[in-house]
Amino acid sequence: MEKDIAKVVINEGQIRSKLFELSKTLINDYKDKEWTVIAILNGSLVFLADLIRLIPFPIRLDTVDATTYGESTFPKAETKVMRQFKIDIEGKHVLVIDDIIDTGSTLKMIMDDIKSYSPRSLKSCVLLNRTGRRRFNIEPDYSCFDIGDDFVVGYGLDYNNKYRNLPFIAVLKDECYRSEGRIA
């Protein structure tokens, strides 16, 4: 994988210290609450795994499936949500976790969907915030890093279902992206 990387955008140390900071904020905000975390698959898996292990109290955990990109780096017009919660949402303090907010389509759709289950509170938390391409009226409640327009991979984020296991966030070399789907 190393040979495919053009540039490391956020390194492991930066991620570790940001997550520690975020965990302190979340511990403070949720310490007295019964806390439910809903992770958006698959991109949030690595972020989720590292983050929840910094939390010293019980967390109820569930996941929701969303697909936006498939084999392209252009967002599809519509995000598909495949939902089937295994735990109660009603009356719970829910935090939705995702790897990145870009246009806002995924997070908006999932937050709206979860709202219909009447949670006691509902907030969102992302690792990356691509602020320059928002199309939907939504901002994350917690966010670790702002990033630019370059399509990134690693730490859970994929290109064509690869590179999720890189321990940092990186931009791939041009030749690694399929030319027809590449963001300019």
Provide the annotated active-site residues: 102
Among 5, 157, 172, 176, binds ligand IMP (CB under 6 A): 157
Applying CB under 5 A, the site for Mg ion has a residue count of 1
Q: What minimum distance in Å lies between the beta carbon of 73 and Mg ion?
A: 13
Residue 103 engages ligand IMP in binding (rule: CB under 6 A) = yes
The helix/strand/coil state of 45 is helix
Among 104, 114, 122, 176, binds ligand IMP (CB under 6 A): 104
Among 5, 43, 111, 176, binds Mg ion (CB under 5 A): 43
Instruction: State the pairing for strand pair 93-101/121-129.
Output: parallel
C-alpha distance from residue 4 to each of 47, 54, 60, 90, 181 (Å): 22, 31, 37, 45, 17
Residue 156 engages Mg ion in binding (rule: CB under 5 A) = no
Q: Among positive and negative, which fits the CA dihedral 148, 150, 155, 158?
A: positive
In the complex, the residues that contact ligand IMP under the rule CB under 6 A are 40, 43, 68-69, 75, 79, 98-107, 151-153, 157-158
